């Protein structure tokens, strides 16, 4: 037999099966309402958490009084002074570490 255009068999046992959810419409609405409230609550909590984190972060440009401490130029000069290559050969020559040791991998037992 050909199904009718709406995809249902012509001799369906319950012609109102499609609408049976309406029988429990109040429960359905209550459930959806609760889910929406829960989502809203989670969003609010998440937003508060982000705001708290923002307050705890130290952002020098924002948190230091202007003109206090070092200007960016001075800071960059100091950073350039701390070159990574400085004294590396020096350190190696005084080192008492075994250069042939296996590479350390955390959590791996040898």
| Cβ proximity of 10 and 3 under 8 Å | yes
Sign of CA dihedral 61, 66, 70, 71: positive
What is the spatial distance between Cα 103 and Cα 92, in angstroms, rounded to a whole number? 17
| Location of structure tokens 């609405």 | 29
- Smallest CA-to-CA distance from 11 within 3, 20, 21, 23 is with 3
Give the per-residue pLDDT at 41: 96
Helix (H) or strand (E) holding 14: none
pLDDT at 38 over 90: yes
Euclidean distance between the first and the last CA atom of the chain, given in angstroms as a whole number? 72
Report the Cα 104 to chain-centroid distance in Å.
30
Give the per-residue pLDDT at 40: 96
Query: Tokens in use for 23?
Result: 């029988």
Give the per-residue pLDDT at 73: 64
53-92 pLDDT, tens digit each: 877 777 667 667 665 555 566 666 666 666 555 555 666 6
């Amino acid at each position: 037999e050909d199904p009718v255009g709406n995809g249902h068999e012509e001799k369906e046992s319950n012609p109102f099966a499609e609408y049976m959810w309406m029988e429990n419409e109040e429960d359905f609405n209550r459930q959806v309402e609760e889910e929406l409230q829960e989502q809203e609550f989670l969003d609010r909590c998440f937003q508060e958490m982000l705001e708290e984190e923002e307050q705890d972060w130290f952002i020098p440009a924002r948190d230091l009084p202007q003109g206090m401490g070092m200007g960016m130029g001075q800071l960059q000069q100091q950073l350039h002074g701390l070159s990574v290559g400085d004294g590396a050969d020096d350190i190696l020559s005084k080192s008492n570490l075994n250069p042939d040791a296996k590479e350390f991998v955390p959590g791996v037992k040898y």
